[in-house]
Every structure is written in structure tokens, then in C-alpha cells.
Structure 1
Amino acid sequence: MRPSSSSMHLLGLALRHANLPALSAWPERLQALAEGRLPPLPDAQRLPEPAGHLGQYGVPPIYRPSIHRLQLHLLELADAALAQAEAAGVPLDREHCDVLFVTALGLNRSFENEARISALRWAAEAWADEPQAAELLGAWRDRLEQDFVASSHDKVGEMASAMAARIAGHFRLRGRVLALEAQEHGALEALRSAATGLEQGRAGQVLIVAAQTLDSPLWQRHPVSAAQWREAACALLLGSNRQAEGALARLRLDAGEAGTAMGLELRLDDQPLDLQALGGYTHAVQPLLGLALAAQLPRQATLLGRDGAGQAWRLGLEPPQAAPAPAWAEPAAVAVLACGAAFGSTRGSAAYWQALREPGHGFRALDPQRHQSALFLDPRATHAMAYYIDRASHAALPAELEGSGAVRELARHAAAELWAQPGLEGEADTAPLLVLCASTLTLPGERQAGARALLPRLLAILAELGAATGWAEPLRQRLAEGLARRIEAAGVAPELERLAASDIARAAADGRPARVLAVEAACASSMAALDLALDALRGGEVERVLVLGVELPVNVSDLLMCSAQRMLAPGLMASFGVEAAGFTPGDGAGAVLLTRADLAARRGQPVLARLLAAGASTDGKSLIAPNVAGQTRAMRRAFAQLEAQGLMPSALQFVETHGTGTLIGDEVETRSLAEVYAGCAQDLALGALKSKFGHCFAAAGMASLIKILLALRHEQLPPNHFERPLKPELGWPAHGFDPLLQARDWPRRPDRRRRAGLNAFGTGGINYHLLLEEA
């Protein structure tokens, strides 16, 4: 049950709006509304171009075309919010400052990447009967790459978390970094996460950056009139109750009154004001827009609304007031009650465990139809519209399930297995539920909708190509009509909510009332979601959390973009091997149900394991290169939380590595493990799951966690599969690391508890280390 109140201080604030770019313009508009003379908003709906350039923030020229247009806005807003706090005498806690990015409905570069790729596929189908089809497609492919500026950085550039990671990297903020989506409730969930992290000492400060764009066509299908929609972006620096000096206001987040209406209401001196009349509708940013406006006025201000589960909430702005630091307490253990798995071609935890124990790997030939190998497979991959691998660990799904439907099916399977496990009925089944879905924030269906909306641009590009190459007018017209018909035949997207990543979380709740939130932290997404779950349970927000990790990276778009950056292993991935040269992707979904260990004991529920601590940091050598210091910082932060127990690295018998099979990644992870664990444990066993099931991206950490849960249940550490001999230069034997070439018994013993660690690292220097033990 949520505590009666949580509070924090607002230390810095910056806001941009399509119509009123400066915060200083808002008080006059508020006064006009109060006096009944408010003029209508101007017609412009999109943010103006920022005045600066990405080079000011250290973004190399080669990366700039791949970056969302919002990135510069967010960097400038973060700069302004941090500078405002510093000018007021607020010391920045860079070492423990989290960065949370809130958005919804997708971002422009994701749609452009998808349009470039899909336009070639659509043309191949539409022009199949043309006598010179191959020549036409070659010219079309080259022009698409040119006009959409295809780049080796496209995969990393389109990640939502990369936006936050660039901010953290430039301003040297080394706390947690993640992106969140809960549609119009995303800003509220970010404020809740910030308050919980600050109160528990997980963060010293939190920088929330949020943005809503109109890049997706889906906003036009929202119940709010299209004329009301506006783009907006903002940045808020938040501090704990102790940080009152120099603060703009104290924010108090409470449970609201039962009679609170749906929607969002802003009250000044207890008088309601029409927030949409003031600034239009900004969807994911709307609560922060109201907060920013209220912070400009010397009057009592309150925001009222309901969250995604229908629960009322109230956010009040008060004068800054310092409060004493809470007494330090070791974090409560969290119990894992149940799990569900669907990785690669396996379905269910039993099949997953059997595959883990068997020799060999789960990679198989790509599906010619689903993966369109005739059009895109090229072992040389001499251009950005080709991939060069022919095997992966892909899910076995019905042919009619594509895109978001395939993601939903895999997630449904993992969640259904979890809910079917015994011990979840009765009192626990009626407890408040939070569902966190670790996933990419722009699912395939949403990407396709955005790509189809670019039809006018595609037809204009085709017309320019036809004119430049001298195609006859009848041919140009025939090609354009065929392409348009094929795009229109792709169908109308389902309702807006079913395209959102947060709706995958709602489906996983299986009809139970729940707050839902999608979380993205690149390849560390599952652990980022799990970390938020630990905070929510320990802070008393909820009694149960379902954490779901799901992603299907064995799809044409990801294969092409990863190939462009040469991320993929030319053969099969060889984690920690002599020929490590990249990863092989794998589809997957996994889910765990969590509660506090004391609640599970009180209810007599069976427990699979106890989660002890999660350490996190953000610190990469670059956006795509890992850093020993950042990884060891995450590991040490996890152990620091258990200082009172005296739990040291020597207490662990097993660590599941991140192990992506990249040359620099394997070397850096080995050095990090050696710095923290070498000499602390005899024969510390290391797991390398990805060499059997591939890299599941957002679901990778969940695959690792469920592997450990099953190993505890079966009292055995399954053997690793190494595609190539271990690289001698890594020095595993000298560090005392056991590569688990054979299965190793892991029995319960009366003289020690079985404990394990788990690494999860993401692009942008996002690092997580989880510690857990047997129940």
C-alpha cells in the first residue's frame, strides 16, 4: 500500500512549448485566463527549431543524422535546468544523479528508419512483374539510403534511452539512466519513481526530461481533438527533502480524493484552471506542463488526476522546507514468487531449463518469408539495406503473427505460465499490482504506422528518382501507383493503446487492475525494470510487481541496422572466445512476480529466490563502448547496500555474465569481474547464456535471472556452450573463474547460502549488477 505522502524538492526547471517557448511568457497567459481574456493558442503545433547545434554537446558529425530531432532540445533544456540549480547555490550530485526520459507515441528517427526499410520491401512486392525489377529496386534502394541518410549508427540512434544517456554522458551524471512510457501517465510514473529513489537514498538527485512530439500519426486518433495537440519538452531537476536551499518549491505527492475526476486538473488557490486552454494538450508531458506553470506563480498550486489503474493522486507545490535525513536501513529482501519463460524456440520454464542443460545452441536458419532473406540477405552486406547472418535464435510463431502481434504473443505466453503457478491465489491475488514491461518503446506496429504515414514523402522521393534517371512517364506513374497501393494494403493500425509498449504490460496483468509502465534501458532494460520494482516494493507503493522483459530482435529492421554497425557475429557468437566478433540475436520473453519477502512469509507462499540488492551506474567510454570503472561502480554499489550484513563478493558461487561476444565487451567485462571478484571466491562459476540463446536485447536480463532461478530450483549450474575456445588473454583461470565447461552441482548446504550475481549492461554505458540468494 502506498505511503500517505512522498515529497521532494524542485531544484531546476526548463520548458519549451510549440507556442510559448519561454517560461517567462506563461504568467501573463495565466493572468489572462483568470481575468477571462485568454486569447486562443496560435495554430503552430510543433516545436520551433533549437538555436544551438549538437556539436556543442560533443555529438560527432557521423552520429548526428541518426539522432531524433528532439535530442538537441533535451540537451539544451537539461543544460538550463542544471544551470538554474547551480546559479541558486544548489550543489549538483553528479555521482548519484539519475536521468529519466519520458515520451510516448514514438520518435521521428524510428519511423524514418522503418520507412526506408519497408519502402524497399513494399516496392519489391509491388514491382515484382516489372521486366527490370532488379534494376529498379537497386536504384530505389540507393535513393532511400541517400534521402533517409542511412547510417551505421541508426540502431543506437533510435533508442529512447540513448537520448537520456547522451545527457548523462555530457553532464557527467553517473546514476541510473532509463526511458519510460505510460502514455498520458508517463510523467506521473516518472515523478513517483524519482520520489521513491530519493527517499530510499538510491539517488541523490533526479533529472526528468520529457517530450511529446507529433511525429507519429497516432496522435490524430486520440479522443482529444487534433487541434488541441501541441509539442512540448521540459527538464526538471529534483532533489530530496533535505535539499531545500536554493529550491524552487517542495513537491508533495499524495493519494487523491475519491471524487477526483478523470483527466488532469490544475488548481491555483483552490480555483480550477483549464490547463488545455492555457497550453493545449501535450499528452505525456501534460502533468509536467501543469507543474512548470504552477511553479511560476507565488500562489498555492495543486495538480489532480488519476493514474493508469484509476487511482486518484494529488501533487501539491509548497514553499521549500528542509526535512531531516531518514535513518539508514538496509534494503528489505524481495521474494520471487513465480516465473514464466519463452526464449528462442522454447516455451515454458521446463523447456528452457532442458535446453540450458543440453549441449549445443538454439540457433537455427532464418525463415525466408518472415526474414525476407531473398531481398535482404547478403553475406558481404556492402550497403545499409542488407544483413549478413543466416541463423539466429528466433521464436517459432504462426505466419500470421507479425510485428507487435508476435511481441504480444510471446509476452502473453510468459505471463500466462507465471499466473498459472500455484500459490498465487487468495489474499495475494487481490493485492495492488504494478506491471513493468522492459521493451523497446516503439513496437513494430507503431513503427509500421509511422512508416506508412510517410507515404507522401516516399512518393516525392520516387518522383525525383524517376525524373533524375529519365524513366518514362508511364513507368513512373505505374511504379508510384503500385507502391501506394501496396502501402495502403498494409492495413490500418489497431487502436492507439494496443500499439504502445505499456499495453503489453497491461495485457500481462491478465485482467487484474494494475498500473503499467514500459521501461527501456537498451540491453539492460530488464534489470532497469527490476530495479524500479525493488524500489516500489520497498517504498510501500504496491505489494506485488510483475516484471516482464520482451523483445524480438530477429526481425528485418533490427537485422539490417545491427548489420550496418557490424554488431552481429559473421558466424555464430562466441562469447569470451578467440574469435569473438559480435553477437547473434535471439527472440525472448520472461516474467517474474515479486513481493516483499516478509509478506510472502506471512502468507506462506512458496518463494523461488530472494533478491537482495541491485547496483546501477551510467559511465561508458563512449555511447557504444563499455567502461571498466562504470561496470565496477555498479557492482560495488550493489554490495554497499548489504554492508550491514557483511556480505562480500566471496559469498557468491556464481555470476551470470552479460557476455555479448564482442571483442571489447568481453575484455572489459572480464576486467571488471576480476577487479571485484578475483581472489574473493574459489572457483567462481561464470555463466554465458547468450552463446546458447543469443542476445534478447531488452529481455536479456530476464533470461539471465530466470536461468539462475531454475539453477537454484534444480540445484545445478548448467554448462556453458562456447562456440570457440576461450580467449587465453582474458585470463579466466588466473582469476579463479570456472567457465562451466560441464554442469556443476549446486546443492543446498547447511553451512552456507547459495548466492549469485547477474550483469546487465546497455548501450550508453548503462550498467546493472543484481545480487540474489536462495529462498
Structure 2
Amino acid sequence: MTSDWQARRATPARPGEPLAIVGLAELDPDGLDDVVVDVARFGIPPMQARSMNRMQLLMLEAARLCLADAGHPERPLPAERTDVVTGLCFALDRQHANAVRIELPRYAREVERAARAAGATPDRAARAAAELRERLAPRLGGSPHDRVGEMASTIPARIAAAFKLRGRTLAVESAEATSFVALAHAVDQLRAEASDAVLVLAGQRRESPFVAEALAAKGRFGPGGGRASAGAGGAERAPGSGAAPRPGETSDHPVVEGVGAVLLKRLSTAVRDGDRVYATVLDCTLRHDPRPGTFRHSHSVALRQEAAADSLRAAGAEPDTVQYVVCAGSSVPREAAAEREALARLHAGRAPGAVVLGTGDGRAFAHAGLASVSRVARGLREGRYPGPPVGDAEPVEVPFRRARAGEAWVARPGAPRRAVVHGSSLTGTFCHLVLEEHRGPGPAGPRARSRSGPRAVPVAVVGLGGRFAGAPDAAGFWRVVGSGRTRIGPVPDHVLDRDLYHCPGSLSLTHSYTDQGGHVPVPADPPDDLAVLPLRYAAMDGAQRLALDVAAELFAGRRAPTGRGVVAVGTTLGLTKERRAHTDLFLAGLEDTVAALPALDGLSALRKKKLLERLRERTGDSAAEPSPALLDGCLASGVAALLANEYGLGAVPLAVEAACASSLAALDVAVGALRSGTADFAVAGGVELACTTRDMVLCSALGLLSHSRNAPFDAAADGFTPGDGCGLFLLKRYEDARRDGDTVHGVIRAVGASNDAKSLIAPDVAGQVRAMQRAFAQVDFEPCTVDYLEAHGTGTKVGDRVEIAAAARLYAGGPRAGALRIGSAKSFFGHTFAAAGSAGLLRTLLALRAGTLPPNTLLRTLNPALGLAAIPAEIATRAEPWPRPPGRPRRAAVSSFGTGGINYHVLVEEDQTRHARHEKGSGPR
């Protein structure tokens, strides 16, 4: 390590510089179904439009309105460095519809069997199954683009493509804290000068009545709540579905709808650009109260008060300068009481009525924080308190009062108007955001960016763990790599019912043409060091169980890290457990449809009753009462929350989706929090179980899968093979790790990110190069000093060729001592989707530690069109020694690219101080 960067500190480039809100948009929550979006305006082909989830259309419109509100395209917008971050909670309508569509053949088969058992002839039973499929087909749709159209991360990518924004694009989820987490990430990126503008969007819809049931089991349903049957997608709007009340009709539904957007810049940039500033964000503080067991809101008054006090201190504001406080919590009585008591303590001693109390609505989940921030920002700009808050008739305690309708917001003499928004989540997170009106020009003028800013602060990997096909832990992972033998093979029958779903050589919407995958069994029991009740463990999603097991490896033999942290896990927003629960509700609602099928007209009422009873027995009875743990298994951020809560980490949990780059996007979020000083430690990584019938069918429909096995860089490469897996990493600032005597497995020197802003599917050389350039802009070494590139290596001829061409643009320059070695973990374990980047990073860190360049497998004939000689580069099929170059550490890069033009590039190097003590490294012991 060079001494110049060891001395750097994680302080912002301009500590505490306010962030300016320069654009706002809120769609009418009572009319989300009525919003008409002109897809042609956004350059969306009709075929893709039919596969898009409704939230994608709504957020595109909100983005358009927000950018227009900020004066775009007439006013300056730094498109090259504008990020798009979306906040979403729960699965989306197209995810539900696709899950139902793919499950339907199985259900139709059970209808046929039940009909035969009830006395129908084989011909009539088969006709009944066919009639059911035909009747439901128009409701469920179906297109080759369904996999891309359903994804949460396609939303920010689509927005980036529509408006040619080439910064980061990612989707996040943290229950009711979702939009606070998105805003906090934006604050970190802007203050670190990693971005020049961030478009933050958050949205919540009632996509499935299952969510209402799961919330009811947690006590989050008011009077009049009840059970509804599910529609295919957009569930609570389907005719005859038992639709829940619409916004404005009643207030007892546990989910409130809404979609909004804000555009943020550094205040200095906004002033320089002549932007209208609604308000400035002085601080966004997040804290977590870890409590094992079922997810529930924390009732800690002390921790709430501490978070609020810390936030005001970071903003440079005293409590007595705050005039308006918004409580955007859950409205659950005990939690709301704790929220108000904490704020009352913070403002104790102030005169009666000195603080106006507003109330947001935590039932808006992903949209809760952003909705309140937007209302307050408008109020600060207009000089009026926001309109009558929810529950404004409730009595309030001293020093609070309610605002009168249309009341002017009078500033204190010589001081700006100031407000705070306070929120919380059922996973245990507290949120506190400080807003202030903008008076006068403020700081202005362009500033030179410096490589010695916070983005250059090195981050140490002090712990790692992983589980992939044939590899129960990190040591097993390295043994598999060293063996040179792939672990891809036929998936088990319970993963893919070959009679129903496997059709080799066929490209269809209902079958997979391959049965190959890198399967990992879902753990049957929790780790030995955790006391998890069987009922709760049974309610967990498979990805949550797998991550818990890997976390046990990560924390084995060490004390849980202390201080403030973040747990950022790359995963899909919309877990299998939720999709399965919605599908069960939908199928349970088909009994009347089945009984009315013309093919069954010859059956008596008694025989039809027996048919339905048998069908219920075979497909499961959805009438069982849900448990309070049911929702926990459906939250994507539940993966991270389980890690934080069960291991007692004071770390804010969030899920990150950036398609196949999700793991490295989560790493980027974690590194940003460490470098900004908002976190003292972080857990980052990714998890996904991609070997499912649903994923294999959807990916086959678009022709993405290999007909044989994943073979990156081979002349016969024809697609990827899905794989299951999870990789997790424990991170600290390098100096802190050295101080604490931690073993350092490797050092993260830089994370570069970009979006192609071009095609959602086709890879783009320029976009990948942009991510690489942004990574190297953060470090003090050249590409020619990087020895190894862990490539994305999807295994398509076009994808491989584009990736090598992009690498050549950067890595071919300068005097290279030897050929750049290139490899990919996918040939061993398959493409693990959200966990792919964690597999690549794990392989790279273990290679650095062992001093061994890892091999590739399944490579029979190297693709001659790759142009490796231009770098020069080599793709090895055998493990080779990795000698340490004179005067510098071993260095490597890890790439991960995702659908939607999402690109991440990470620069890693070994810890030289470790090798000063141990001249020879080894693999994990």
C-alpha cells in the first residue's frame, strides 16, 4: 500500500454541504390507475410495452414531470453524472402475473387429475384443463420480454435510457424506510462528488391482497379489513377479486398508494446552474435497532431521540430552530406514541405551540418518506405549512400544535425556515431528515474534483463467506475453482418438472429448452448459533435462509462488529415467497371458474364438490390463518434485516437490485456509506436462487439461456446457465481494520458505475468503458498495473466480444509487464443473477490471498473474434502462480453488467502489510 492514501480520512469533500431539491413531482394517489402514459414518448417498442409493470410506466411519467419541473431539457442537467435511484416495496404486478402464468400448467394438470378422480372421462378431464388455460390466457398475457419487463431495476434503467442519463441506476427497498434510504444514498453520492445530480423516485401500489393479509397478521389492518382473492397481476383491481378500498374511500387499508420524484443537486451546483431551489437537505440520518425475532417496529424512545439529535447535530442545527416536524411513521399506536415522545423530549422546554406537528403516512411504505419530504419542500418554498395533515383532529402534547388550514409559515427573525421528517420501518430502522428553506445564492461556481476526496478512501474486506453450487463455504468455493471442474448439471426434478416445463430445442413462452443449472439446496434448519423458531424459519424465503447460513460463516470466530453500519444485499425486489403466496391466493379463487368449465357440465354437484376438495388437497389450502412472520419472508430487505437483527448489528438493512450487477451495486452503496463516515462497518454482497421453473422459463422465452452449459469466451458460447448462490463480505475502512488488527482479505480501491442509456438488453462498449474510467479516476495507479480481470462473462458471443472490446479500451494502454489474465466464475457455478458479482469478487479475493490466478472451465475453443492480443490478454484453463510484481501489490478488477445497461467495475488489491508478515498467502483455511 502506498502511504499517501493510507493517510486519507472519510470526510466529505465539503462537509455538510446542503443538497438542493430542484425538481418535484407527485402523481395523484387517487388516480394512479387513470394516468395515461404515452410509451412512444419514451421510445418504448409496443412489444416491450405489453410486458412492462404498471409501476414502470408511472415512474417514467413521474420522472418526466420532475425533470420538466426542474426546467429540463432547457435548463442544464449533468446527464453524464446523473444517477437514477428508485424505491419500491413488495413484488410488482407483472411479477405476479408471470408467476401465475407459469404455475398455471401445473394447476391445470391437477384439475385434469381431480376431474378424472371425480368421474370425468379422460377426454373431458383433458378438455377441462385446456379450457382453463384458454380462459385465463388473456388475463395473464405473455411475451418474450416478460423477464425484463417485470424487474424492479428495469425501472431506473428505463428512465435513464429515456432521458439519456448515464450515472448509476439502481432500485432499493427497506420497508417503510425505503425512500429515506434512497435519499441517504443520494446525499452520500452527491457529497462525495461521485454524482452531480440524483433523480430519486419512490412508489407504492396495492399489487396483491396478500400484502394486506400479511400486514393484518402483524396488526396493521383497521376495522373492516378482510380477506380478498387475488387477480393475476394488479391484483386488487381485477374484476370480482374482492378489491380493497381505493385511496380516499376509507382509511383502514394497510397500504396507501402514491408515486413521486425529487431531483437533487449539490447546492453549489444548483446555484451555479441558476436552478429554482424548493428547499435544501441538510442531513439524512438512519439508525437501526436490532432485535431478533419477527420483524416489528421498535418502541425505543431513547434511540429515536438519539437519532434525531445526531441528525440535527450533523446539520449544524439546534432543536429550537426547528419549526415543523413531520411524523411519517407507521401510525401503529404504540410505535406512534414512541415517535412523539422522543420528539417531545428533544424539544422539551420550548414554548407551547412552538413546533407545528405534521403527520405523514407510513402505510405508503416505499413512498412514505418521499411523500412527506415533497410536501415539506413545497411548504418551505411557498412559505405555508403543508395542507391539513392526516389525523389533524388528534390532540397533541406541548410544545406541539397543529397548523391551521392555509397558515403562513413565518420564519424566525434572522433565521431560515427549518423542518424535519421523522420515519421508521417495521424492520427496526429510524430515519431523520432535516430540511431548510433556501435564502440567497449560497455557494456557487465550479469546483475542481480531487482524487484525494472521500471516493479514494480504501475499504478493507475483513470477512467473507459464500455458498454456491458444490461449494458449501468459501473454502469449498476455492476447492471447486482449483479443481477446474464445473458444478453445473441437471437441476433436480423438484426445481424443474420436466414433464410440464422442459422442451429441448423449443423456444416458447411456457417451457425451458434447458434443464441445466448450478443448483444449491435451500437450508432446512437455521444456523446452530441462532435461536429461530420453526414457524418463523418456515415462513422465510429460500434466499433469506441461504443468506443466514452464509452470515454464520461470515461472523464465525469473531465478535459482531459494533458502531453504526449498513447491511446492503443485492437481491431481486419481489422474493419467491411473496410470488408463491400471491399465486396460491389467485389459484384458490379459481374454484368457481373450474366448476363452471363446459367440459365438466356432465358432472353432478356432488362430484364437482369432490373435484374441488381433491383439487384443494393437491394444491394446498390457502385458508390457513397467516402468521405475524409471513410478511418477513416476502420483504426483499428482509434478507439484510435478518442479518442485522439476528446478529445484533446496529446496521441499516436494505435490498439493492441492479439486475445482474446487484451485488456490486450493493457493494457500491456500502463503500459509499463507509467513505462518507455514515457507517463504521458494512456487510455487502448478494443472494439469489435463479434455478427455478419461473426463471428458467422466462429466460428461455427470450433465448438467454445456453442450450448446453455456460462457457464464457468459447467460440460456441450460446448463453448463460442459471445458478444459485450467495456471497457476503464484511467491510471496514482500511485504517480502521488496521487499527483493530483485522485480517484483511483484500482492499477495495474503487467502484465505478454507469448506465449505457441505450438498449435494455444489448451490451454497449461505451457504457462499460465509462464504468471502468470512473473507477480508475478514483485511484493513483494505471490500468496496465492490473494483473487479473474477473469478467462478467455471460457466455454469449456478442456479450463476450463487447466486454473484451471495452476492456481493451482501458487495459491496452501503458507498458504492461505481462498479459492481463481474464476469467469468470460463471463457468463453474452458472450465472447467479443478483449474486453474480459476489461470486466474482469472492473468487478474486481468494485468488489474491492464495497468490494463484484462477482457471476457467468448459472452454474448448477460444473465440477468435475476441481480440485478446490487442490488450494483450490470456484466458487460462489451468490455475497458475500469481507472482507479486516488484514494488506494488497484486491488483485485480471485477466487472458486473446488468440488464438495462447497468455497469459496475471494482478495483481490488491485496493488503501488502499482511504479506509483510506472511510472505506466502494461501486459500481460506
Global fold match (TM > 0.5): yes
* Residues 65-89 of structure 1: per-residue CA shift (max 9 Å, x gap): 2111122211111111101111697
In structure 2, how many angstroms separate the alpha carbons of the residues matched to 1:63 and 1:311?
39
SS at match of 1:48: helix
Q: 8 Å contact 1:50–1:72 — kept in the other structure?
A: no
> CA-to-partner distance for each residue in 1:562-611, whole Å, 9 max, x for gaps?
11111111111221111111100110000000000011111121111110
- Trace 1:36-55 onto structure 2 (pairs within 5 A): 47-55=32-40
- Correspondent of 1:252 among 282, 285, 291: 282
Equivalent residue, structure 1, for 2:144: 152
SS of aligned partner of 2:718: coil
**Worse overlay, 407-416 or 207-216:** 407-416
Farther off after superposition, 90-99 or 168-177: 90-99
Q: Matches of 1:139 and 1:381 in 2, distance apart?
A: 23
Compute the displacement of 1:462 (Å): 4.7
The answer to whether the 8 A contact 2:66-2:262 is kept is: yes
Does the 8 A contact of 1:704 with 1:758 survive in 2?
yes
Q: Percent identity?
A: 35
Please list every run of 5 or more consecutive structure 1 residues that lacks an aligned counterpart in the other structure: 22-46
Rounded Cα–Cα distance in structure 1 between residues aligned with 2:360 and 2:523? 47
1:747 offset after TM fit, Å? 3.0
1:582 aligned residue = 719
User: Which residues in structure 2 correspond to 1:673-688 (within 5 Å)?
Assistant: 673-680=807-814, 681=816, 682-688=818-824
Change (3 A) 1:208 1:472: farther
Equivalent runs, 1:553-568 vs 2, <5 Å: 553-568=690-705
SS in structure 2 of the partner of residue 453 of structure 1: helix
1:659 aligns with 2:796: no
**2:23 corresponds to:** 12
Q: Take 1:326 and 1:628, find their aligned partners in 2: how far apart are those partners?
A: 28
Structure 2 Cα separation of the partners of residues 72 and 459 of structure 1: 33
User: Shift in Å at residue 391 of structure 1?
Assistant: 1.9
Matching residue's letter, 1:381: S
In structure 1, what is the Cα distance between the partners aligned to 2:129 and 2:791?
43
Q: Which amino acid aligns with 2:901?
A: G
Evaluate the alpha carbon distance shift between residue 2 and residue 497 of structure 1 in structure 2; reply closer, same or farther with a 3 A threshold.
Answer: farther
- Confirm whether residue 717 of structure 1 aligns to residue 853 of structure 2: yes
User: Cα–Cα, structure 1 residues 743 and 553, in superposed 2: closer, same or farther, change >3 Å?
Assistant: same
Q: For 1:274, give the aligned amino acid.
A: T
2:348 corresponding residue in structure 1 = none
Alpha carbons of 1:259 and 1:103: their partners in 2 closer, same or farther (altered >3 Å)?
closer
The answer to whether residue 524 in structure 2 is matched with residue 416 in structure 1 is no
- Indicate whether 1:545 and 2:682 are aligned: yes
> Is residue 333 of structure 1 aligned with residue 458 of structure 2?
yes
- Match of 2:142, SS? coil
Classify the secondary structure of the residue corresponding to 1:434.
strand
Q: Does 1:171 align with 2:163?
A: yes
The partner residue of 1:219 within 212, 216, 234 is: 212
- Secondary structure of the 1:118 match is helix
Deviations 1:668-703 (A, max 9, x none): 111111111125433100012111110000000000
Q: Of 745, 750, 753, which residue of structure 2 is paired with 1:608? A: 745
Taking structure 1 as reference, are residues 88 and 752 closer, same or farther at Cα in structure 2, changes over 3 Å only? closer
Give the C-alpha shift of residue 753 in structure 1: 1.3
Aligned-partner residue type, residue 225 of structure 1: F
Q: 1:151 and 1:479 mapped to 2: Cα distance?
A: 32
**Any idea what the Cα deviations from partners look like across 1:391-434, whole Å, max 9, x if unmatched?**
2110134689999542122212211111015xx43xx7222221
Give the one of 481, 491, 502 matched to 2:637.
Answer: 502
SS of equivalent residue, structure 1 residue 589: strand
- 1:614-625 mapped onto 2 (5 Å cutoff): 614-619=751-756, 621-625=758-762
Pick which of 253-262 and 101-110 moved more: 253-262
Question: Which piece of structure 1 moves more, 81-90 or 54-63?
Answer: 81-90
Is 1:6–1:253's contact at 8 Å kept on the other side of the alignment? no
The answer to whether the 8 A contact 1:127-1:482 is kept is no
The 1:49–1:311 alpha-carbon spacing in structure 2 relative to 1, beyond 3 Å, is closer
Does the CA-based 8 Å contact 1:123-1:483 persist in structure 2? Answer: no
Equivalent residue, structure 1, for 2:103: 118
Structure 2: how far apart are the matches of 1:269 and 1:251?
22
Aligned equivalent of 2:172, options 162, 177, 180: 180
Q: Which residue of 2 aligns with 1:60?
A: 45
In 2, distance between residues paired with 1:146 and 1:259?
A: 51
Quick check: 1:6–1:254 contact (8 Å CA) kept in 2?
no
Per-residue deviation, 1:220: 4.3
TM-score normalized by the length of structure 2 = 0.75
2:358 corresponding residue in structure 1: 273
Kindly indicate whether the alpha-carbon contact (under 8 Å) linking 2:805 and 2:867 is maintained by their aligned counterparts in 1: no
Give the partner amino acid of 1:710: L
Contact 2:199 2:261 in 1 (8 A): yes
Deviation at 1:13, TM superposition (A): 0.5
The aligned residue for residue 285 of structure 1 is 367
Cα deviations across residues 265-310 of structure 1 (Å, max 9, x unaligned)? 899972112334xxx8312211111112222221343312346555
Which residue identity is paired with 1:71? Q
CA contact (8 A) 2:467 2:474 kept: yes
Correspondences of 1:470-481 after superposition (within 5 Å): 472=602, 474=604
Q: Which amino acid aligns with 2:282?
A: R
Q: Offset of 1:749 from its aligned partner?
A: 4.6
- 1:694 aligned onto 2:806: no
Question: Of 262, 283, 301, which aligns to 1:236?
Answer: 262
Aligned to 1:429: 561
Quote how far apart the aligned CAs of 1:139 are: 4.8
Query: Structure 2 vs 1, CA of residues 118 and 482 (structure 1 numbering), >3 Å: closer, same or farther?
Result: farther
The corresponding residue for 2:479 is 354
Match of 2:669 in 1: 532
Task: Render the CA deviation track for 1:140-180: whole Å, top value 9, x for unaligned.
Answer: 44554443111111111111010111111000010000000
Aligned residues: 737
Deviations 1:634-683 (A, max 9, x none): 001111112xx2x1110100001101111221111111111111254331
Map of 1:635 onto structure 2: 772
Secondary structure at 1:115's aligned position in 2? helix
Distance in 1, matches of 2:430 and 2:34, equals: 38
8 Å contact kept, 1:168–1:174:
yes
Q: Which amino acid aligns with 1:546?
A: V
Describe the superposition over 1:235-286 as per-residue Cα deviations: whole angstroms up to 9, x where unpaired: 111111212442111122255743968557899972112334xxx8312211
TM-aligned CA distance change 1:484 to 1:14, over 3 Å:
farther
The letter of the residue matching 2:106 is: R
1:743 counterpart = 2:879: yes
Distance in 2 (alpha carbons) for counterparts of 1:204 and 1:679:
28
Q: State the distance in 1 between where 2:354 and 2:197 align.
A: 29
TM-score relative to the length of structure 1? 0.89
Larger displacement relative to structure 2 (185-194 or 668-677): 668-677
- Call closer, same or farther: CA 1:734–1:172 in 2, change over 3 Å: closer
Compute the RMSD of aligned alpha carbons: 2.8
Structure 1 residues 97 and 160: alpha-carbon distance in aligned structure 2, compared to 1, 3 A threshold: same
| CA deviations over 1:49-71 (Å, ceiling 9, x no partner) | 21233222111111122111122
SS at match of 1:258: helix
C-alpha separation in 2, matches of 1:442 and 1:232: 19
In structure 2, the CA distance between the partners of 1:581 and 1:70, relative to structure 1 (3 Å rule), is: same
Q: CA deviation at 1:481?
A: 5.6
Contact 2:82 2:196 in 1 (8 A): yes
In structure 2, relative to structure 1, the CA distance for the partners of 1:70 and 1:461 (3 Å cut) is farther
In 1, Cα distance between the equivalents of 2:549 and 2:805? Answer: 38
Residue 522 in 1 paired to residue 659 in 2? yes
Q: Structure 2 CA distance, aligned partners of 1:413 and 1:120? A: 34
Q: Kindly indicate whether the alpha-carbon contact (under 8 Å) linking 1:302 and 1:315 is maintained by their aligned counterparts in 2.
A: yes
After alignment, is 449-458 or 693-702 more displaced?
449-458
Question: CA 1:104–1:2 in structure 2 vs 1: closer, same or farther (change >3 Å)?
Answer: farther
CA 1:398–1:77: 2 relative to 1, 3 Å: closer
Higher alpha-carbon deviation: 746-755 or 304-313: 304-313
| Aligned pair partner of 1:649 in 771, 775, 783 | 783
Are 2:754 and 2:903, in contact at CA under 8 Å, matched by a contact in 1?
yes
